[in-house]
């Protein structure tokens, strides 16, 4: 029986693994910038595992961007996929492409308790949508529903591209600076790795502070070390993430809980847990009570998107 391969491809990194016996094996992370396309990256991965072309029977790739049809162009990198050409190049029988946050959402169904940290206490309501939201190269949003037969349905979307909400006079002032720079201000423009830098520059301009940090990593490190401007950037980032997540819960009726994923927030997890996220998450005026009791977790699992891609393959096989 041929092996299955799963991939989780974002703007910066592509993660690949074998999927066997309902588990991940041989995870490897490759930089998308190092390869002209996914076929070449997967061939390099197979060579590293000592596997020839044709050894893989089915592939599931979690792709950053809206997925439909046989052609796909990635939102945040230069790669593209043509289904027929891909299968021919890798000598594989099947390619399943799903949205990266659909895979991330499916990955939540396999989390161990130690792979999540409570942010807001509450009780998840059965048969209600679950929200998965996370900042990385971009801002991803996915919705998870449990079917009556125990399988999972994911509703893909592009919720990271909603307008950035304004909840205070200071946020309105920051928004005006962002608007002058960007024109249209999306949530992703602030709630992403590069968004930390965008927010930092806007805050320095608003407060007349000199620019001292040039990368998101430097801003995060400075904030954790006590730099007051960088620390406020991390706080405002957390508050804005709370506003966007709360808006999504209202829109979706996602009282099944919220999972915060992605590579940005775990880098300042303790500060995030002590931030104004919880307050801004539930600060919805006359509908604030609707957010009471909705549990929120910060996910610390290493490869939930890869696991979700494996779950997608498994569900497809079980459906026949």
Query: Can you say which residues are annotated as belonging to the binding site for ATP?
Result: 7-12
Angle at 176 between CA 237 and CA 267, to 5 degrees: 15
Strands (E), the chain: 3-9, 13-20, 23-31, 56-63, 71-73, 80-82, 94-99, 116-120, 130-135, 139-146, 152-156, 258-261, 296-299
CB atoms near residue 271 (< 10 Å): 16
Tell whether the torsion through CA atoms of 209, 210, 212 and 215 is positive or negative.
positive
CA–CA distances in Å: residue 282 to residues 123, 167, 246, 294, 295: 15, 12, 6, 9, 11
Q: Which residues are annotated as a binding site?
A: 7-12
Asked if 3 and 56 count as a contact pair (C-beta separation under 8 A), the reply is yes
Which residue is associated with the tokens 């930089």?
Answer: 31
Q: How many Å apart are CA 258 and CA 291, to the nearest integer? A: 11
CA–CA distances in Å: residue 188 to residues 62, 76, 84, 136, 165: 19, 12, 32, 9, 11
Structure tokens at 148: 């009556």
């Amino acid at each position: 029986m041929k092996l299955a391969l799963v991939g989780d491809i974002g703007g910066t990194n592509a993660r690949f693994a074998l999927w066997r016996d309902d588990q991940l094996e041989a995870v490897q992370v490759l930089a998308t910038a190092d390869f002209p396309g996914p076929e070449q990256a997967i061939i390099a991965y197979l060579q590293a595992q000592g596997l020839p072309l044709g050894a893989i029977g089915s592939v599931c790739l979690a792709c950053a961007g809206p997925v439909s049809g046989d052609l796909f162009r990635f939102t945040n990198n230069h790669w593209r996929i043509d289904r027929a050409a891909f299968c021919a190049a890798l000598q594989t029988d099947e390619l399943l492409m799903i949205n990266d946050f659909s895979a991330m959402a499916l990955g939540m169904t396999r989390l161990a308790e130690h792979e999540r940290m409570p942010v807001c206490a509450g009780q998840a309501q059965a048969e209600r949508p679950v929200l998965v939201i996370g900042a990385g190269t971009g801002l991803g949003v996915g919705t998870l529903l449990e079917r009556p037969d125990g399988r999972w349905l994911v509703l893909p979307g592009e919720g990271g591209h909603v307008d950035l909400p304004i909840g205070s006079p200071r946020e309105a002032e920051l928004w005006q600076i962002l608007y002058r720079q960007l024109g249209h201000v999306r949530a992703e423009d602030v709630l992403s790795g590069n968004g930390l830098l965008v927010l930092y520059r806007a805050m320095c301009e608003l407060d007349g502070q000199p620019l001292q940090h040039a990368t998101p990593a430097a801003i995060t490190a400075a904030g954790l070390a006590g730099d007051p401007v960088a620390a406020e950037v991390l706080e405002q980032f957390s508050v804005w993430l709370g506003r966007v997540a709360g808006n999504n819960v209202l829109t979706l009726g996602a009282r099944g809980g919220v999972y915060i994923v992605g590579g940005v927030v775990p880098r300042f997890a303790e500060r995030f847990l002590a931030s104004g996220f919880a307050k801004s998450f539930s600060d919805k005026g006359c509908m604030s009570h609707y957010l009471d009791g909705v549990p929120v977790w910060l996910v610390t699992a290493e490869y939930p998107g890869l696991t979700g891609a494996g779950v997608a393959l498994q569900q497809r096989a079980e459906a026949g």
